[in-house]
Chain A
């Protein structure tokens, strides 16, 4: 039961992050590695604000803003300095490592017995009694679903249409008299804002911040997006943002199962990253397989 609960909690938190990766990877067609730096940045900001006794709701807005700022910088490096997309992300990811250390001042920040978005007076009074074990999950659900609907709404506005157009056909955006670089920067800002928000939630759920917690975020994000858009999209009628979140939960479940049965093949918990990357590879191949089948049938 605890295992299922923690899979759901982490799956939905990573779902917020995956929505950000969905924007860059699927909509903008931009392989954005900034994510590995902006996820722990959100966590760092959340950790520092909470240890200083600032209201936890404010941490969400602060981390989103900081993440958006990081995304804007990646965008400026790419668009204005004309650095390749992959390299722009790597530059920011590396720079953010130092920034994150500067924000917290140390590599570890524990958040035990602190007031968080999940554990505060309001949630304790509304979600007490029998709901206590699922209190964190319920708060996460409200936030994740809220974020999903906000993103759905944005993508259906004129500005959102333009964002979808720029990844699809940037010549078309120029033809519409709009600077395509600006649209890309907006997309990167929203994406990294969501990633940092995910990081902030994750630190509060785990009750600690660790400088290395961002490593591999992009792999988790991509895996969730690919499960959501390639595998789940074929079998369900869910909205694409919903299937990305479901993809994230699904991926977390796969990792949890893998961790459980790792001992059978003499792997230890320190081998986690290897398992993650193999799992990602399997997902990629599985997604490809489906594409081929569709082509043959068509």
Chain B
């Protein structure tokens, strides 16, 4: 379970550009829930993910993971139980290292990086199997550098790598936004499959309202640092794109977009 309690976050505190993003923001995500988050630019979606992952500091409030206070923990400590896929496909893999090397690093997350050999024949076969399940032909490219792959291939690989080891939370930060519609569809299907298989608590930020409606068992709409729409369960299952589009338009008109 992930809890954000009374979170307050200002940007540029003490300057003329001071911006209050979150004021007493609260959110509870129960175990194994798949939450999709939508909202306009600047509504605080990515900031929320950054706060959870410790990439930015908050002014006040608490973040609890499974009841444990992780507010004071550094970003890298939090990532030990968090898998994250970024909008930029370049961020999830190492471009100058081969797929095999990338996967070997990801596979070793949380096990300490000692002086054992990174390459392992048995493991390579295992990785090949995982890659085959992506249906992107990556299983024959174990020795190809990740930088030589297309954006979609890299993002699929990043998603696979982020979920290779047991993690408690999966954070998806607009991970299909930089891909062409067809590849985005593919990566999204893969996301749904992985989340279902691994039963991992997931928060997915997306600009694609259809994905938000189709995937996940809870939908949040954010606006100016607060949640303006929150539906889960039956209500979420009945939700249609038109319904949220209307709410979305209302808030957008409000701020003059």
Contacts and interface: CB of A to CB of B under 8 A. Distances in A.
14 contacts: A157-B115, A158-B108, A158-B118, A159-B113, A161-B97, A161-B105, A165-B105, A168-B96, A168-B97, A171-B91, A172-B105, A175-B79, A178-B113, A179-B74
Contacts of B96: 164, 168
A3 B97 CA distance: 40
Contacts of A169: 90-91, 93-95
A252 interface: no
A177 to B, nearest CB: 4
A271 B96 CA distance: 40
Interface residues of A, number: 22
A33 to B, nearest CB: 24
A154 B105 CA distance: 14
Nearest to B115: A157
Nearest to B147: A168
B110 interface: yes
**The 5 A-B residue pairs with the shortest CB-CB distance in the complex, in nearest-first order:** A177-B80, A168-B94, A158-B113, A177-B79, A161-B118
B119 A180 contact: no
A160 interface: yes
A90 to B, nearest CB: 28
Contacts, number: 79
B116 interface: yes
Nearest to B110: A177
Contacts of B113: 158-159, 161-162, 178
Given A175-B84, A176-B106, A177-B79, 5 more contacts: A159-B113, A161-B118, A162-B105, A164-B97, A176-B109
B97 A179 contact: no
Contacts of B76: 173-174, 177-180
A156 interface: yes
Interface residues of B, number: 33
Interface of A: 154, 156-162, 164-165, 168-169, 171-180
A160 B114 CA distance: 9
A176 B118 contact: no
Given A164-B96, A168-B97, A174 B79 contact: yes
Chain A at the B interface: SS class: helix
B223 to A, nearest CB: 28
A298 to B, nearest CB: 11
A176 B162 CA distance: 9
B139 interface: no
B17 interface: no
Contacts of B74: 179
A180 B74 CA distance: 12
A156 B119 contact: yes
Contacts of B105: 158, 161-162, 165, 172, 176
A159 B105 CA distance: 9
B75 interface: yes
A180 B105 CA distance: 14
A156 B120 CA distance: 11
B44 interface: no
Nearest to A181: B76
B101 interface: yes
A157 B110 contact: no
Contacts of B97: 161, 164-165, 168
Interface in B65-91: 74-77, 79-80, 83-84, 86, 90-91
A175 B109 CA distance: 9
Contact of A160 (B95, B109, B118): B118
A156 B109 contact: no
